Amino acid sequence: MNYLKRLGIDTYMLLLLATVAAGIILPVHGTGAESLRHVTYWAVSLLFFLYGAKLDPGAVRAGLLNWRLQGLTFGATYVLFPLLGLLLVAVFGGVLGTTVATGVLFLAVLPSTIQSSVAFTSIAGGNVPAAICAASVSNLVGVALTPALVALFLHQGGGGVSLDAISKVGMQILLPFVIGQILRPWLGGFVNQHKTVTMFVDRGSIVLIVYAAFSASTVSGLWAAVPLSTLVTVFAVVWLFLTLAMAAMVAIGKVSGLDKSDRAALFYCGSTKSLASGLPIATALFAPDILGAIVLPLMIYHMSQLLVCALVAKQNEAP
């Protein structure tokens, strides 16, 4: 165990890996999957309620007014990522095939995660208010901007996007956060004195997200939808994508002179992509017969980012 800790693998990382294996080997079906979805939903809502209860309103205002961090995060999500996606498809598109290459471009134009990026920012001791603002804005704008970028890059006309993504951000994340802020005068002291409560919810939410995502992909037969050779190639390309994105966030954070807490927020919000937002958007934009291959790069990226971010965040310092 000491050897594993020196490699950066602790009990929490082993739990995440076990969760991945459980999602593949023992996926949840039917009523169980629906129950898991509800449990995950409320766990995330509780997480943001606790964030609201413990955060000083002045810190929240500072997060909204941190235009440099907000601008860098938005630019990373909707400018840098699409450019990297175009570059990778230009180099590897012939090997990936048209449909999977389209999935790589779709991945590139998605908004960042909300719950996991904010949770990792919190675990790393980063600027949580700024992370909440950056991730929420990314998703709210992404409901309109992602389909527009898909149309621009892929010439996909029409499709439209449901308002479900907007309502989910509002009901699951922003509303609990606001309620927590309102109740902060009564609950703030208790939450700040019992930090293990928030840490448990942070990490518990991430475990639920990982299991639900891997389980859903297994049940849908996603892993059997493409040939093994293509699957190996797409894994390699997506991991290269993740490496380039994270390296860029580290470099931009240092070059721009952000402090450690802001660099953590930029890293986790700027380098991640949302499966929760991506799947509904993909359903609206693409035909069912190609949907599995379209979302495969997103599935791989999302799972990989969770594991890498957990490894980095547990060091409790900015990258």
pLDDT band at 156 (very low <50, low <70, confident <90, very high): very low
Its pTM stands at 0.71
- Going from N- to C-terminal start, the domains of the chain cover 11-313
Which CATH fold would you assign to the domain 11-313?
Na+/H+ antiporter like fold (1.20.1530)
Output the DSSP codes for 247-277.
HHHHHHHHHTT--HHHHHHHHHHHS---HHH
* DSSP E strands, 199-277: none
Q: Which two tokens stand for residue 215?
A: 């389980």
CA-to-CA distance for 58 and 260, rounded, in angstroms? 19
pLDDT in tens, 95-122: 888 888 888 999 999 989 877 888 888 8
pLDDT in tens, 24-77: 888 888 888 888 878 887 887 887 788 778 777 766 566 667 788 889 999 999
Rounded to the nearest 10 degrees, the angle between the axes of helix 195-219 and helix 30-54 is 150
